[in-house]
Amino acid sequence: WPDSIFYDLFVISSYNAKKTSRLAKRLIKSKEKYELRVRQDAQKPNAQQHMASLLHRAPDAAADMLEMLTSLPSVQNPFFHPIRPRANLRSWPLYDVSMRCTYQSDVKDVKNDNGVKIPEWKCSPEKEWPPWHTQFMPELSNDENAREYVAEVDTKVVLLPNILHIDIFMSLACTRTAHMDIFDRLPVKGIVQHLWDLVAPIVYLRLALDLIDLSVQAAWGLQSEDGGMKAMASSP
């Protein structure tokens, strides 16, 4: 991968992270000139590992590159099955979230002229679409459309295959305090949010089991030897 913008940034980051961040910001300022090259490099083999290395050495530069890889999805049938501009942001258990995330492999059947795979909101000529569409963006009823947890949204994609890679999460976990602001960036926030969506049911189940275990132990501790509850009294 020497012939890659990510490699150039990685090499510079081994000497000076601040200069790496400056170069990344220059790339963003010249987005029209370098955007295609960045997207092509992001879809080369092992690109997610290169991104993980950059996240570890120069988090700000990596966050800039992730934002540069953020784009609008292609819509296969915008007239019959568009991406709705309003969405239900109520999550279980009954709290509102700032975003909804999903991790899918649906892309346009044919690469564009530049060789970049673009994620696509698919809808067949028979007016059928993948089941995950309904789970990701449930259809709103007329009554529900006016609820406080329904908001206007923008749907975007990150053009980095295998973005939920263990190396990326390891690099994010090692982020220093000085670089914590990268977690306010939309792509990074989406990565973390989707991981939480995946593990949240397990966490809630573990908490429920721990509460049951604690309740049983507390009940045993309050029982006397003859099976009755211990009397608790104090002198005035």
Mean pLDDT calculated for residue range 11-37: 87
Token output for 206: 């573990």
Token output for 186: 């939309």
Report how far residue 65's alpha carbon sits from residue 60's, in angstroms, rounded to the nearest whole number.
9
For residue 147, the model assigns a pLDDT of 81
For residue 111, the model assigns a pLDDT of 59
The structure's pTM equals: 0.82
Give yes or no for residue 221 having a pLDDT over 70: yes
Phi, psi angle pair for 35, to nearest 5°? -60, -45
Residue with tokens 């996240």: 55
Name the residue with higher pLDDT: 57 or 109: 57
Name the residue with higher pLDDT: 224 or 120: 120
Token output for 28: 């963003």
Q: How confident is the model at residue 160 (pLDDT cuts 50, 70, 90)?
A: very high
Token output for 52: 């993980």
Which of 17-31, 119-133, 138-152, 160-174 reaches the highest mean pLDDT?
A: 160-174
For residue 3, the model assigns a pLDDT of 73
- DSSP string for 68-101: HTEEPPEES-TTTSPPPSEEE-EETTTEE-S---
Q: What is the mean pLDDT of the chain?
A: 86
DSSP state of 109: S
Q: What Å distances lie between residue 37 and 4, 30, 40, 65, 66, CA to CA? A: 8, 12, 5, 11, 13
Question: 28: burial class by Cβ within 10 Å (0-12, 13-18, 19+)?
Answer: middle
